[in-house]
Structure 1
Amino acid sequence: MKQNHAFIQNKIEIVEDRGDLVWAMDEDYKLTAFNTSFKARLKQNGLGDVERGIDLKEVYKADSFFNPCQQGCERALNRYATTSKHTFEENGKIVVHEFSFQPFMNHFGNVVGCCIWQKDITQEVNNNHRLRESERKYREAQEVADVGHWNWDMKKNEITWSDQLFRIFDKHPETFKANYESLMEIIHPEDRDAFNEDVNKCIEGKKLHDIVHRILVGNAEIRYVHQKGRAFYDENGKPYRMSGTTQEVTKDVLSNRQIVEQNHELQNFVRIISHNLRGPISNLLMLSKIYDWGKDEMNDDIMKKIEHTTEALDQTIKDLHHSLALKAADKEKFRKVLLGDVMKDVNGLLSEEITKNGASIETNFSKANIVFGAKSYVVNVFYNLILNAINYAKEGVSAVIEIASDENDKEVVLKFSDNGIGMELTPEKERKIFDMYGRLSGATEGKGFGLYLVKTQVEAMDGKIEVESEKDVGTTFTITFPKVL
């Protein structure tokens, strides 16, 4: 028996540095071995000093912390090893402890006692709770965004889907085995080649897998999904898996298609109306030319108003045609445009205005001297913004216009700044000045068509334009173009 006790004590001493409570007792509930953590715990709980031979039944009854040991030790003495978790409140916090009860037998196979191992698993439990909470939030986020996650093991040809992905593809996790071949069966036949090509580019070219395509679900229902992912490679550079996301975008695709169709219908409507009006307008303008002026002052005044109205309507229709032509720009003809060459053209076009108004133009294209688009569009953008700065100069103050370029990994940025009259620019005014016939102010003549053309031409080259202005300080237009690759 002494050998058994010594053996148990040696085992207990092995875990001294863990901070766990470990002790042993015989079949009469007498303490036979313990570690320092057990001794410290009893003293902390006001149970006095510990020594071998004390009756643990009294300890188990007297202290709520050790109370779970009554049933656990009883089962161990009946040859049943068991583990249980118990929750306590300590120092105002909830803690969780795990108790393990292991029967100890002699060489005859008789139970002569049991060993008890207690450890604090609060952190582990909290981590598990946080993990489950994170998983729950992740599933909810996937459901809200209608996006699922996938992983393709290329060596095993097995694809793992998240729960949301099964819903998107209308498949059941227990009956559908996801692999590359079964995925291809879901993809619309007309989109399979494009999908394969994009996957191969991702793997061979180490590029992002990024494609929108159709899938067939249920009774041949068509859905649109946006697939994004990347390939992973081993130390030899061989691909072994791909991972990514799939989002259903059916509503977005159909909505965008409807918008495109409506825009085409609107453009056709404008063309038809302008074509049908062109004849009557031409006739009215012709009548004003052959009218016998000077015989009746009242009739002359009426004819003059008719002529002005007809000319304005004729110009409006020309502007509409011009706007439609800009929006239908052939991007296949876009080329690299040197900003220095653009300024040479603009200086020639505006030389008289610049000289007459004493304006000065300072340019700095050292950081970026190239944009991608149509040179005529870029010239028109520069022309209108510089002319605006000259026209909206302060009275008695020559216009100073600064044009600078910059670039980052994705964009080229142009800034046109002036020292003009500026304005109090509300979001509503910012929107209106880029509308057709919008005006910065009523202080100068002009239809306000120039900024609309600027915005139209910038957007036709996949750019965007923004404006900042402060009254009596000046105005800055910022234009952003995609960077030339």
Structure 2
Amino acid sequence: MKKKQALIHNKVEIVEDRDDIVWAMDENYKLTAFNTSFKARLKLDGLGDSERGMDLKKVYESSSFFNPCKQGCDRALNRYATTSKHTFEENGGTVVHEFSFQPFMNSSGEVVGCCIWQRDVTQEVNNNYRLRESETKYREAQAVADVGHWNWDMVQNEITWSDQLYRIFGQDPETFKANYESLVEIIHPEDRDAFNEDVTKCIEGKELHDIVHRIVVGNGEIRYVHQKGRVFYKEDGQPYRMSGTTQDVTKDVLSNHQIVEQNHELQNFVRIISHNLRGPISNLLMLSKIYEWGKHAENDDIVRKIEHTTEALDQTIKDLHLSLSLKSADKEKFREVFLKDVMKDVDGLLSEEITRNKAIIETDFSKTDTVFGAKSYVVNIFYNLIINAINYAKEGVPAIVKITTGKTEEKVVLKFTDNGIGMELTPEKERKIFDMYGRLSGATEGKGFGLYLVKTQIEAMDGKIEVESEKNVGSTFTVTLPDKAL
């Protein structure tokens, strides 16, 4: 018996310096060895001091912490090593402990006792829970965004896909073996060369893999996917792995195709209608020129109204043509435009209005004195924003227009600030004033085509325009354009 107790005691001593609770007992449930953690736990549960030879059955029955040990020890004494987790409420929180029961046998193979090893696995369980929760949320995010991730082992030519990627490519994870060749087979035949070229460029040029292409799934259904990725290299410069994401962009691509097609149809419709109207409009205008005025007052009034209406219709057709031509601007002809040259042109165009209204135009181009685009567009933008400020000045107060420039990391910013009548600006009103024939107010003359033209020209140069306004204080128009100097 002493030899058996010594054997068990030596096993327990190995973990004396750990926080885990370890103890041993013989086949009669008598305590034979224990570490200090076991001793401390017994006192914490109000079960007195630990002594070799004490009956552990009473301990197992008296303490909720040790209660799970009775069944585990019974199995260990029957030669079955077991491990189990148990949850307890401690200090207002929930903790999880793992109990391991290991039988001890003598040289004859007889069970002479067992060793019990308990450890706190709360943190481990929480980490596993958070990991599972994170993986669940990640899978949900992939499903919502219709995007999956992949990893290509270039040495073994094996591709690992996330679950969402199998759904995007319409493949069964149980039967489909993903490698480069099998992936290329799914790609639309007309897009395979472009895909291979992009991958080669990515590997050899160390560039990002970024391509939208078609795939053929199921019974011939065509989908569009956006592939992005990068290559990883060994220390000797050899590529060994490539990873990235794939997103199903079928809806976006088809929607864009539909919009482009509708725009083409609309442009063709406008061109046909305007062409068919040009003849009658020209005839009406010509008839008004040869009409003998002054012989019949009532007829003069009717013809004058017809002439005004026809001129308005003629201008509307010209406006539509101009709008269409701006939307298809040739960006290859865009150049660096000096703002001081723009102001010279605008001063010449507006000299009479500025003098008559005693307007003051202040400019500060110190942050940047150039923009990239078409000079005629920039001149028109300055012209319309300045003339608007003059037209919407407070009664009896000369307009003061301050034009300043600024720069961000990738943008050039132009601000046109005035001291005019301003307005109560709602999101709906902000949208409408940039519509064709939108108006800032009904207090002034004009068709309201100017701001629509400004917005169209700015967008043709890949920019945007925004407005801030306060009634009786003034308005600020902010024009943002790309900085092509980068």
Sort the TM-score into its range (normalised by shorter chain).
Answer: over 0.9
Secondary structure (helix, strand or coil) at the match of 1:402 reads strand
Q: Distance in 1 between matches of 2:146 and 2:193?
A: 25
Q: Which residue of 2 aligns with 1:430?
A: 430
1:284 is matched with 284
The residue aligned with 2:403 is 403
2:211 is paired with a residue of what secondary structure? strand
* Residues 299 and 332 of structure 1, relative CA distance in 2, 3 Å threshold: same
Separation of aligned partners in 1, 2:320 and 2:204? 48
Task: After TM superposition, give the deviation of residue 333 of structure 1 in Å.
Answer: 2.1
Q: In structure 1, what is the equivalent of residue 104 of structure 2?
A: 104
1:205 CA displacement? 4.0
Alpha carbons 2:30, 2:52 under 8 Å: kept: yes
Structure 2: 5+ residue stretches without partners: none
Provide the aligned length of Structure 1 versus Structure 2.
485
| Cα 1:126/1:107, change in 2 over 3 Å | same
Q: Would the alpha carbon gap of residues 382 and 121 (structure 1) be closer, same or farther in structure 2, given more than 3 Å must change?
A: same
Percent identical pairs in the alignment equals 82
Verify the 8 A CA contact 2:368 2:407 in the aligned structure 1: yes
Rounded Cα–Cα distance in structure 2 between residues aligned with 1:219 and 1:457: 46
For residues 119-170 of structure 1, the C-alpha deviation after alignment (integer angstroms, 9 at most, x for no partner) is 1112211221221122112112211221111112222222111011001101
Match of 1:56 in 2: 56
Bigger mean CA offset, 19-28 vs 203-212:
203-212
Deviation, structure 1 residue 3: 5.2
RMSD of the TM alignment (CA)?
Answer: 2.0
Rounded Cα–Cα distance in structure 1 between residues aligned with 2:168 and 2:72: 49
Is contact 2:333-2:374 (8 Å) kept?
Answer: yes
State the partner residue of 1:85. 85
Name the counterpart of 1:328. 328
Q: Given the superposition, is the C-alpha separation of residues 206 and 373 from structure 1 closer, same or farther in structure 2, using an over 3 Å criterion?
A: farther
Letter in 2 for 1:318: K
Report matched runs for 1:67-78 at 5 Å: 67-78=67-78
Residue 415 of structure 1: aligned partner: 415
Q: Deviations over 1:47-105 (max 9, x none)?
A: 12111110111211222321221121122222222111122333443322111111223
Q: State the Cα distance separating 1:193 from its structure 2 match.
A: 2.4
Cα shift at 1:231: 2.8
- Tell me the equivalent position of 1:271: 271
Q: Quote how far apart the aligned CAs of 1:311 are.
A: 0.8
Query: TM-score normalised to the size of structure 1?
Result: 0.94
Once the two structures are superposed, what CA deviation does each residue of 1:274-293 show, in whole Å capped at 9, x if it has no partner?
11111111111111111111
Q: Counterparts in 2 of 1:26-425, with a 5 A limit?
A: 26-425=26-425
Deviation at 1:236, TM superposition (A): 4.6
Structure 1: which 5+ residue stretches go unaligned?
none
1:283-341 CA-partner distances (Å, limit 9, x unpaired): 11111111111111111111111111111111111111111111111222223333333
TM-score (norm 2): 0.94
Q: What's the CA shift for 1:479?
A: 1.5
Provide the secondary structure at the position in 1 that maps to 2:175: coil
Residue 113 to residue 335, structure 1, CA distance change in 2 (3 Å):
same
Q: Distance in 2 between matches of 1:353 and 1:234?
A: 70
Q: Can you list the C-alpha shifts for 1:366-403, whole angstroms capped at 9, x where unaligned?
A: 33334332221122111211221222222232322222
Could you tell me how far apart the structure 2 residues matched to 1:180 and 1:396 are? 75
| C-alpha separation in 2, matches of 1:153 and 1:368 | 49
Structure 2 residue identity aligned to 1:37: S
The 1:159/1:62 distance shift into structure 2, 3 A limit, reads: same
Distance 1:369 1:25 in 2: 89
Task: Give me the whole-angstrom Cα distance separating, in 2, the residues matched to 1:138 and 1:146.
Answer: 12
Mark the CA change 1:350 to 1:328 in structure 2 (over 3 Å): closer, same or farther.
Answer: same
Q: What secondary structure, in the 3-state scheme, does the structure 1 residue paired with 2:336 have?
A: strand
Shift of 1:270: 0.9
- Cα distance in 2 for partners of 1:107, 1:83 equals 25
Comparing 101-110 and 252-261, the one that deviates more: 101-110
Larger deviation, residues 186-195 vs 335-344: 335-344
* Per-residue deviation, residues 341-376 of structure 1 (Å, max 9, x unmatched): 333332333333333333333333333334332221
Which amino acid is 1:266 matched to? Answer: L
- Matched residue, 2:460: 460
| SS of 1:394 mapped into structure 2 | coil
**Structure 1 residue 206, shift from structure 2 partner:** 3.9
Q: CA deviation at 1:10?
A: 4.4
Partners of 2:256 and 2:28 in 1: how far apart? 81
Residue deviations 1:213-254, cap 9 Å, x none?
111112222111111223333445544322221111111111
Displacement of 1:7 in angstroms is 5.0
CA distance in 2, matches of 1:188, 1:408: 42
Matched letter for residue 220 of structure 2? A
Distance 1:336 1:164 in 2: 47
Q: Deviation string for 1:187-232 (max 9, x for gaps)?
A: 1122122223333343444443222111111222211111122333
Question: In the aligned structure 2, how far is the partner of 1:202 from the partner of 1:403?
Answer: 45
Query: Match for 1:173: what amino acid?
Result: P
Q: What is the alpha-carbon distance in structure 1 between the residues aligned to residue 409 and residue 151 of structure 2?
A: 30
Task: Return the alpha-carbon distance in structure 1 between the equivalents of residues 171 and 351 of structure 2.
Answer: 69
> What CA distance in whole angstroms lies between the structure 1 residues aligned with 2:425 and 2:201?
47
